[in-house]
């Protein structure tokens, strides 16, 4: 489609599709008391119908615009302004658009998704309920549950003191909801985030450290772990390194360097665990049009290649999906260095023999 036709396409989208969407929102708003606690009633179903029609219109326009990224982003921002009188009534929609912490998926947003309850009333509450039942609204809690299962399994399989690193930790809900530490183990977890508010919230919400389970909070820019020597010097190496909310925001170059850096932070027999969203298993439209929440899109093959490019052998990489099938949880295990040369069991030679052999090897052949 020629760029010359794009203004007509965009203006028709706003004159027809956006006008119908906002008229429907206005009608629903009139029917719902602003203080009403939201329920999934007939008005909620009517909202879902409106959102389905809008999603189809946004997809259609995006396909018609083609590869013009500038036009697409300008159109999305204009669309978000058009729907703002209704969408700003939703705590979740407004939070994901305005990004008070600088990014959409901050600790407040994740905590709200984990708790699975609308924070708004009236029409805004219905939009909260919709947000919670979107594909990623369901996948985020499932991702946390899968992480808890992984940690429980690792703690049960290991002995003694276990050092754990959580990169871009957010609210640390996996430990707030409870992770089992078997008898005879001592787990020390280092939580890393650059958001001071996130670290403060996690520190307040997690239980007190004890001899069995201890927590340490470190403000640090995760991107610096691409060259991990400084962090290792200050905090040592770890048996388990994991990050479940960061990788979808890093480009390939950053992520390859990060995966390589994390590998260097593992002890022998350590394991790296990272989560990705499968681009083929969710629809990006709602997150890029209704709010401003973008992820770098990858599928399973893309993710495996990133590990390989970072120096991991294909046989070291395992992947399990969460219960929604949307989240790909990759694990890669560090194996102790082993000799690849043949064992030396010959009788030691004299120093004279060694000198003579060295001189012989220098002769031209």
> pLDDT tens for residues 205-244?
998 888 899 999 999 999 999 999 999 999 999 999 999 9
Distance CA 335, CA 289 (A): 44
Burial class (CB in 10 A: 0-12, 13-18, 19+), 7: exposed
Joined together, the tokens standing for residue 324 give 């929604």
Task: Kindly report which listed range (43-57, 192-206, 345-359) carries the lowest average pLDDT score.
Answer: 345-359
Query: Residues 6 or more apart from 33 whose CB is under 8 A from it?
Result: 122
Give pTM, 2 decimals. Answer: 0.87
CATH of 137-333, one of 3.40.50.150, 1.10.3720.10, 2.115.10.20, 3.90.380.10: 3.40.50.150
- Which residue is listed with tokens 């772990």? 225
Burial class (CB in 10 A: 0-12, 13-18, 19+), 23: exposed
CATH 3.40.50.150 domain position(s) in the chain: 137-333
Please tell me which residue, 334 or 47, carries the higher pLDDT value.
47
pLDDT tens readout for residues 241-257: 999 999 999 999 999 99
Q: Which sign, positive or negative, has the C-alpha torsion 8, 13, 19, 20?
A: positive
Distance CA 123, CA 116 (A): 17
Find out whether 273 and 330 touch, Cβ atoms under 8 Å: yes
Q: What size, in residues, is the chain?
A: 365
Joined together, the tokens standing for residue 286 give 């709602």
Distance CA 139, CA 282 (A): 10
Find out whether 171 and 144 touch, Cβ atoms under 8 Å: no
Distance CA 167, CA 147 (A): 13
SS3 state of residue 296: coil
Is 177's pLDDT higher than 90? no
Q: Please report how the helices 122-133 and 42-65 are oriented relative to each other, as an axis angle in degrees rounded to 10.
A: 60
Is 267's pLDDT higher than 70? yes
Mean pLDDT (the chain) is 90
pLDDT-based confidence at 86, cuts 50/70/90? very high
Find out whether 225 and 199 touch, Cβ atoms under 8 Å: no
Q: What is the mean pLDDT of residues 137-151?
A: 97
């Amino acid at each position: 489609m020629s760029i010359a036709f794009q203004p007509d396409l965009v203006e028709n989208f706003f004159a027809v599709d956006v006008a119908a969407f906002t008229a429907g929102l206005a009608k629903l708003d009139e029917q719902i008391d602003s203080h009403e606690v939201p329920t999934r009633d007939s008005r909620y179903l009517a909202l879902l119908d409106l959102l389905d029609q809008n999603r189809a219109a946004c997809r259609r326009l995006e396909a018609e615009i083609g590869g013009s990224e500038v036009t697409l982003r300008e159109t999305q921002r204009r669309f978000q302004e058009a729907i703002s009188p209704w969408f700003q009534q939703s705590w979740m929609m407004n939070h994901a658009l305005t990004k008070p912490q600088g990014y959409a998926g901050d600790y407040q947003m994740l905590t709200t998704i984990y708790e699975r309850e609308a924070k708004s009333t009236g029409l805004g509450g219905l939009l909260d309920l919709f947000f919670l039942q979107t594909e990623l609204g369901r996948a985020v809690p499932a991702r946390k549950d899968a992480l808890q299962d992984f940690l429980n399994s690792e703690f049960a399989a290991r002995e003694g003191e276990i050092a754990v690193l959580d990169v871009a930790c957010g609210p640390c809900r996996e430990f707030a909801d409870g992770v089992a530490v078997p008898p005879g183990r001592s787990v020390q977890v280092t939580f890393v985030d650059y958001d001071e508010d996130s670290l403060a919230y996690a520190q307040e919400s997690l239980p007190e450290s004890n001899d069995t389970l201890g927590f340490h909070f470190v403000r640090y820019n995760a991107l610096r772990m691409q060259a991990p020597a400084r962090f290792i010097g200050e905090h040592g190496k770890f048996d388990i390194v994991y990050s479940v909310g960061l990788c979808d925001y890093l480009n390939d170059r950053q992520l390859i360097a990060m995966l390589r850096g994390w590998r260097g932070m593992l002890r022998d027999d350590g394991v790296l665990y990272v989560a990705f969203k499968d681009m083929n298993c969710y629809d990006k439209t709602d997150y890029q049009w209704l709010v401003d929440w973008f992820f770098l899109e990858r599928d399973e093959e893309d993710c495996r290649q990133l590990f390989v490019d970072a120096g991991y052998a294909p046989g070291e990489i395992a992947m399990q999906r969460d219960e929604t099938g949307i989240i790909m949880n990759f694990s890669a295990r560090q194996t102790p260095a082993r000799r690849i040369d043949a064992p030396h069991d010959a009788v030691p030679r004299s120093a004279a023999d060694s000198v003579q052999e060295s001189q012989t090897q220098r002769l031209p052949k």
